[in-house]
């Protein structure tokens, strides 16, 4: 081979300079152009949205109303079988909600009792870490959002979420059984999803933008005041912080370090 | 050339099939459909931007909107004329242009583009 060390280094050096003049030069000499256009307006003044579920006020009827309100507003269909089920908010028994807390002598009041569960909007969301397309990410106000335009349906996030808060559309939601969804899509102002994307609770980001509260909270508080409270965890004067100060509260699977932002007063 | 006549006949048939649509349409291009406006759209006089801008840029606007709304929670669009609109295909665009088949589909079909907006976004109910 007719190339000595000296010639090789010359060519290597020259290539590096050429490379610098090409694509790399744009990145080096005109930085931040992209970021500047993306960061237009800050999301909200809120630092960290959170919720408190007061189980002393919550009962099965309220939970059902919350689930119905959420699923109607977000066009979540009833698929009719557990394997393909799509849920943003649902009921889970105590043993499954707090597996680390359960023991054989647990009070009868809690044994088999239903809890209202949904996406915890974790401070360290494992779903966002594994998403290869950033289709799910954490907003500046703490909401773990989904961008259905970007989801490729790899379901890494479903494997990563320790709370089972994510559902996959194995089929077209508009082809869900008609007899179970007679008036689907129930909300013509909100999109449905398509086959092959993951979905979950978005803490009603579209309603927060209009200054409304999440649909589940609205439904719950119609029946019982303060059974579900939503607010800024970063603000020491907020209602959620007041409740957390006054009551003992627990979170789901705190040992995993995801720092859930949904608190349960028990 | 072995079996030359077979090849020539084959070529004639092949090329004939290929250019048949041209002659079938009388060597004229099909007329581009004109989007129809609803009474509400006519009354508004102008869309969020000028007609020529919307004609060429509506897809880019929609693409930008979807990112800005979902990712940055930036939902207000301010037009060059200073009007403000909710960045929403389903609730703003289709509110005026509620005749999707005559306003959107005709042209999209003519151009052979298949936007997948409607896989998720709900199209307005039309009385066809």
Domain containing A124 — which CATH number?
3.30.70.20
Q: What is the per-residue pLDDT across B6-65, written as a single tens digit (0 to 9) for each?
A: 999 999 999 999 999 888 888 887 788 889 999 999 998 899 999 999 999 999 999 999
If one counts the domains in chain A, the total is 2
Nearest chain B residue (CA) to A185 = B122
Nearest chain A residue (CA) to B75 = A209
Residue A13 has what pLDDT? 79
B81, B82, B83, B88: CA torsion to nearest 10:
100
State what percent of residues in chain B have pLDDT above 90. 70
Nearest chain A residue (CA) to B92 = A189
On whether both A113 and A202 belong to a single domain, the answer is yes
On whether both A127 and A254 belong to a single domain, the answer is yes
Of A208, A202, A169, A204, the closest CA to residue A77 belongs to: A169
On whether both A23 and A53 belong to a single domain, the answer is no
Q: What is the per-residue pLDDT across A44-97, written as a single tens digit (0 to 9) for each?
A: 668 899 999 999 999 999 999 999 999 999 999 999 999 999 999 999 999 999
A101 contacts chain B (CB < 8 A): no
Quick one: average pLDDT of A181-189?
92
On whether both A13 and A133 belong to a single domain, the answer is no
A91 contacts chain B (CB < 8 A): no
Residues 6+ apart with CB under 8 A from A96: none
Classify residue B44 by its DSSP letter: T
Cross-chain Cβ contact A39/B70 below 8 Å? no
* Contact indicator for A172, A194 with CB cutoff of 8 Å: yes
On whether both A15 and A122 belong to a single domain, the answer is no
* Enclosing domain of residue A152: 31-265
Interface mutation vs chain A, best among B87, B117, B120, B125, most A CBs within 10 Å: B120
Interface mutation vs chain A, best among B119, B121, B124, B125, most A CBs within 10 Å: B119
Nearest chain A residue (CA) to B125 = A188
Q: What is the per-residue pLDDT across A140-163, written as a single tens digit (0 to 9) for each?
A: 999 999 999 999 999 999 999 999
A8 versus B40: the higher-pLDDT residue is B40
A185 contacts chain B (CB < 8 A): yes
Residue A129 has what pLDDT? 96
One-letter-per-residue 3-state SS of chain A: CCCCHHHHHHHHHHHHHHHHHCHHHHHHHCCCHHHHHHCCCCCCCCCCEEEEEECCCCCHHHHHHHHHHHHHHCCCCCCCCCCCCCCCEEEEEHHHHCCCCCCCCCCCCCCCCEEEEECCCCCCCHHHHHCCCCCEEECCCCCEEECCCCCCCCCHHHHHCCCCCCEECCCCHHHCCCCCCCCCCCCCCCCCCCCCCEECCCCCHHHHCCCCCCHHHHHHHHHCCCCEEEEECCCCCCHHHHHHHHCCEECCCHHHCCCCCEEEEC
On whether both A88 and A24 belong to a single domain, the answer is no
Residues from chain A that touch B73, judged by Cβ atoms under 8 A, are: 43-44, 139, 205, 209
Which residues of B touch chain A, with CB atoms under 8 Å apart?
66-68, 70-75, 90-91, 116, 119-122
**pLDDT at A22 exceeding the cut of 60:** no
* Contact indicator for A70, A76 with CB cutoff of 8 Å: yes
On whether both A219 and A261 belong to a single domain, the answer is yes
On whether both A52 and A179 belong to a single domain, the answer is yes
Q: How far apart are CA A66 and CA A88, in angstroms?
A: 11
- Measured in angstroms, the CA of A41 and the nearest CA of chain B are apart by 7
On whether both A181 and A200 belong to a single domain, the answer is yes
A38 contacts chain B (CB < 8 A): yes
On whether both A1 and A98 belong to a single domain, the answer is no
On whether both A105 and A162 belong to a single domain, the answer is yes
State what percent of residues in chain A have pLDDT above 70. 88
On whether both A89 and A202 belong to a single domain, the answer is yes
* Contact indicator for A201, A165 with CB cutoff of 8 Å: yes
Indicate the residue of A189, A191, A209 with minimum beta-carbon distance to B120.
Answer: A191
């Amino acid at each position: 081979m007719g190339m000595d060390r000296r010639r090789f280094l010359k060519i290597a050096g020259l290539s590096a300079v050429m490379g610098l003049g090409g694509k790399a030069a744009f990145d080096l000499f005109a930085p931040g152009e992209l970021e500047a256009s993306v960061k237009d307006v800050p999301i909200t003044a809120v630092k960290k949205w959170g919720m408190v579920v007061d189980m002393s006020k919550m009962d099965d009827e309220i939970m059902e109303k919350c689930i119905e309100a959420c699923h109607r507003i977000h066009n979540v269909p009833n698929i009719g079988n557990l394997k393909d089920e799509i849920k943003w908010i649902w009921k889970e028994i105590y043993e499954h909600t707090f597996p680390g807390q359960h023991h054989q002598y647990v009070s009868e009041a809690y044994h088999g009792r239903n809890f209202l569960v949904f996406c915890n909007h974790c401070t360290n969301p494992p779903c966002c870490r594994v998403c290869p397309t950033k289709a799910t990410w954490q907003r500046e106000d703490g909401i773990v959002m989904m961008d259905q335009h970007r989801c490729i349906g790899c379901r890494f996030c479903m494997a990563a979420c320790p709370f089972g808060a994510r559902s996959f559309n194995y089929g077209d939601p508009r082809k869900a059984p008609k007899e179970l969804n007679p008036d689907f899509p129930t909300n013509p102002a909100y999109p449905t999803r398509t086959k092959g994307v993951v979905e979950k609770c978005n803490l009603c980001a579209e309603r927060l933008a209009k200054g409304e509260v999440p649909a589940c909270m609205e439904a719950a508080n119609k029946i019982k005041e303060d059974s579900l409270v939503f607010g800024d965890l970063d603000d020491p004067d907020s209602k959620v912080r007041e409740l957390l100060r006054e009551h003992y509260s627990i979170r789901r699977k705190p040992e995993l370090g995801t720092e859930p932002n949904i608190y349960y007063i028990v | 050339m072995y079996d030359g006549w077979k090849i020539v006949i084959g070529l004639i048939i092949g090329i004939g099939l290929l250019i048949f649509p041209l002659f079938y349409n009388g060597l004229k291009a099909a007329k581009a459909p004109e989007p129809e406006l609803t009474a509400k759209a006519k009354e508004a006089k102008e869309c969020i931007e000028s007609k020529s801008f919307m004609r060429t840029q509506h897809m880019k606007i929609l693409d930008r909107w979807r990112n800005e709304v979902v990712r940055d929670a930036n939902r207000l669009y301010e037009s060059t004329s200073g009007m403000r609109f909710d960045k929403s295909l389903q609730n703003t665009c289709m509110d005026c242009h509620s005749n999707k088949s005559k306003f959107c589909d005709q042209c999209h079909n003519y151009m052979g583009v298949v936007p997948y907006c409607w896989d998720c976004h709900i199209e307005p109910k039309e009385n066809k």
